[in-house]
Structure 1
Amino acid sequence: MSIITLTTDFGTKDHFVGSVKGTIYSELPDARIVDISHHISPFNITETAYILKNAYKSFPEGSIHIIGVDSELNEENKHIALKLDNHYFICANNGVISLLANEIKPEKIVEINIHEHIATSFPVLDVFVKVACHIARGGTLEVVGKIIPDFKRLVELQPSISTDNKTIFGNIIYIDNYGNSISNISNKIFQEIGKGRDFEITANKYTFKKIYSKYSEFVDFSVPKELRQKDGSKLALFNSANYLEIAMYRSNLNTVGGASSLLGLNYRDTLTIKFI
């Protein structure tokens, strides 16, 4: 039986997550359900995309991922199911797939059409679960929808490049649990555009001329401990997801704070990398 994952902005206080899981178990008693996150900021598509992009690859091929963020059905927010990278995704066609599919083209996309038999104000429960269980039983996408050529794309999930190929313009797309500010600039695009040139990162009023590959690389362990870089010092690095992150060394939101608060780098704020 395939794994079914849940990524939502439902939180865990209310009944929503429990109802979704209960309905899946009612249809598939031997289902395996994994929570990726239920603490997405409400309706935040970019945050959803970032979390899911970095989580789904850890699951076995054939896993089914239900995305319950901004999922209410309307004329501009249809429901889709797709196969991408040998995984299945069920979500609203609101652009959430943009970050996942910026390098991998979906094998098949369908616009879900089973709504004509279902009147609901809770589509994750009444529609997405039915589609997920259908797929888990070995059903095909064509049974639950009509094939469509593409999905809605969010421009803000992708950085832009100046016409002279000297500057990358990016945005903060996610603030993690440590208050670190994560951008949409990948190591891949940095290497492709930079070609080994020197650079300067500008984020708010702060500049960086070095990018680290891990947090501990920031520390010079050859000097006495009392003279090393202090907790709360700012740095830039490519994180484990290979995205440019502006961070505070050993940040703690309860004490020294994080980059989002101390440097004023919040969701959708801009940053640039200028190559010299």
Structure 2
Amino acid sequence: MENLIAVMSDYGLKDTYVGTLKATLYMNNPEARVVDITHYIRPFDLVDAAIKLKWSYKYFPSGTVFLIAVDPDPSAELLIISTEKYYIVTPNNGIPSLMLEEEPADSVYVITADHYFIEGKGNFRGRNQLAPIAAQLAKFQSPFYLGDSKDLSIIKRFRIPSPKEIAPGKFECIVIDVDGFGNLILNMESTGQLPSKVTINGVEITNASENFENYQKGEFFVSINPEGHYQIISYMASAARLLKATRGTKVTVEF
């Protein structure tokens, strides 16, 4: 589907940053359709952005341009990455890594079409540089005139840790995300069965269910998040707060 731009940033909604970035998209491409993936990536957090991009891209139609406005390193080159179905406009900081494991890159271009950039004070590359390029790309569906083609090896990548089997049916995992409800999402995708026991910060959890029925407020159980990862939930409460857990907290999962 042409002319669709999906935007992710760490700007939040308190300031004018999201509004002026989107205004720049429409100024350069009035017919564009713009979807906000999230603007609440943790500030400067490449891993958080990579996880959210991986969990969201597959729901968008072919031809979507993903605009990644998370840019902690102002020296990072600005790229257009093409896959079989999508385009990604991003600083070269590794955020597309997890998406590209599933949706491999076909080509990459270093953005050179600075005549599309807009003048602006300060370091606001998301609005002043990435947004005009994303708008042009969504309109014409071709990166050829927007940058110089490079070898795919220039794309910076990183991985998140995988679960480690420490005994038969027993895995050492970590929390990779804490969602807005305080649910703790693990780095282990569903194997088709629910765990018999999960241990985190000395607390053993033996309840597990794919739905939220028949639990009392504050009761812990293990479930599966919408993207297929095991998650620790406290019903109608924050598991993160009650268990004093954050991203990176170790979790033992047993089957």
- TM class, shorter-length: 0.7 to 0.9
Identify if the C-alpha distance between structure 1 residues 80 and 274 changes in structure 2 by more than 3 Å, giving closer, same or farther: farther
Q: Is the 8 A contact 1:112 1:146 kept in 2?
A: no
CA distance in 2, matches of 1:48, 1:55: 11
What residue number does 1:223 align with? none
One-letter amino acid of the counterpart of residue 154, structure 1: F
SS across alignment from 2:231:
strand
1:1-276 to 2 correspondences below 5 Å: 1-74=2-75, 77-84=76-83, 86-114=85-113, 121-143=123-145, 144-150=147-153, 151-155=155-159, 157-162=160-165, 167-187=170-190, 190=191, 200-209=197-206, 211-216=208-213, 219=214, 229-251=215-237, 258-274=238-254
The 1:231/1:80 distance shift into structure 2, 3 A limit, reads same
Shift of 1:248: 0.7
CA distance 1:210–1:3, change in 2 (3 Å): same
Quote how far apart the aligned CAs of 1:4 are. 0.9
Residues 170 and 107 of structure 1: CA distance in aligned 2, closer, same or farther (over 3 Å): farther
Distance 1:107 1:21, change over 3 A: same
Distance in structure 2 (CA, Å) of the matches to 1:31 and 1:83: 19
**Aligned residues between the structures:** 249
Counting aligned pairs with the same residue, the percent is: 24
**Could you say what secondary structure the match of 1:6 adopts?**
strand
State whether residues 72 and 123 of structure 1, in contact with CA within 8 Å, keep that contact through their aligned partners in structure 2: no
Structure 1 spans left out of the alignment, 5+ residues:
220-228, 252-257
The normalised TM-score by structure 2 is 0.84
The DSSP-based 3-state class of the residue aligned with 2:48 is helix
Alpha-carbon distance in structure 2 between the residues aligned to 1:70 and 1:127 = 12
Give the Cα–Cα distance (whole angstroms) in 2 for the partners of residues 209 and 274 of structure 1: 10
Distance in 1 separating the partners of 2:100 and 2:161: 11
User: Is this contact kept in 1: 2:195–2:253, CA < 8 A?
Assistant: no
In 2, the alpha carbon distance for the partners of 1:129 and 1:138 equals 14
- Deviation string 1:99-135 (CA, Å, 9 cap, x unpaired) is 2223332232333344699687211112211221221
- Structure 2 residue ranges without an equivalent (≥5): none
**One-letter amino acid of the counterpart of residue 90, structure 2:** C
When structure 1 is superposed on structure 2, of 239-248 and 37-46 the one drifting more is: 37-46
Deviations along 1:149-186, one digit per CA (max 9) or x if unpaired, are: 2432223x231434877554332222111111112211
Q: Is the 8 A contact 2:189 2:229 kept in 1?
A: yes
Letter in 2 for 1:140: S
Question: How many angstroms apart in 2 are the aligned matches of 1:116 and 1:29?
Answer: 18
**Would you say the 8 A contact 1:73–1:79 is kept in 2?**
no
1-side partners of 2:113 and 2:26: how far apart? 21
Structure 1 Cα separation of the partners of residues 53 and 103 of structure 2 = 14
Q: Which moved more, 1:137-146 or 1:57-66?
A: 137-146
Asked whether the equivalents of residues 71 and 92 of structure 1 are also in contact (C-alpha less than 8 Å), the reply is no
Asked if 1 retains the 8 angstrom alpha-carbon contact of 2:108 and 2:150, the reply is yes
Task: Measure, in 1, the Cα distance between the counterparts of 2:139 and 2:113.
Answer: 17
